[in-house]
Structure 1
Amino acid sequence: MRNELRTKIIDVCEEKIAKKGPNVGLSFYAFFANKNDRPDLLMEVATWWIQTHQLDHFVKAKTIKTMIEKGM
């Protein structure tokens, strides 16, 4: 996954955790605007989320953040 996405995912996870607490869950759509103007990035995250790691639709933000930080 490109660094641009890794940075954005970490930022969004930190923001969600700060606002809603450590048990907040999110889907990969949380990293994109309602009007997706970057389908290539959406597909990259979707592939990482669904195919590579076979994650559920909603996963705790702290789990995703940890995975990204570990380079998974």
Structure 2
Amino acid sequence: MKESLRRKIIEVCDKKIASKGENVGLSFYAFFANKNDDPELLMEAATWWIMENKLDHFEKALKIKGMIESV
């Protein structure tokens, strides 16, 4: 996974946790704007989320952050 994507995921998770609490859930779409301006990065996130880790559509931000930080 690209370092820029790792940083983005951690940043988004931190913001969501800070604003909505430790129990907040999110999907991989949370890491992108509502437009398809970087399809390669979107596919990288989707592949990691769906194919590599078999995650549900929504997962806890704390779980995702922990997974990214442990790699």
User: Is the shorter-chain TM-score for this pair beyond 0.5, marking a shared fold?
Assistant: yes
CA distance in 2, matches of 1:16, 1:30: 9
**Equivalent AA in structure 2 for residue 40 of structure 1:** E
Q: What do the CA deviations read for 1:1-55 (whole angstroms, capped 9, x no partner)? A: 0100000000000000000000000000000000120000000000000000000
Partner of 2:49: 49
When the two structures are superposed, what TM-score results if normalisation uses the length of structure 2? Answer: 0.99
Number of equivalences = 71
When the two structures are superposed, what TM-score results if normalisation uses the length of structure 1? Answer: 0.98
Unaligned runs of 5+ in 2: none
Identity of paired residues, percent?
Answer: 69
**Equivalent AA in structure 2 for residue 16 of structure 1:** K
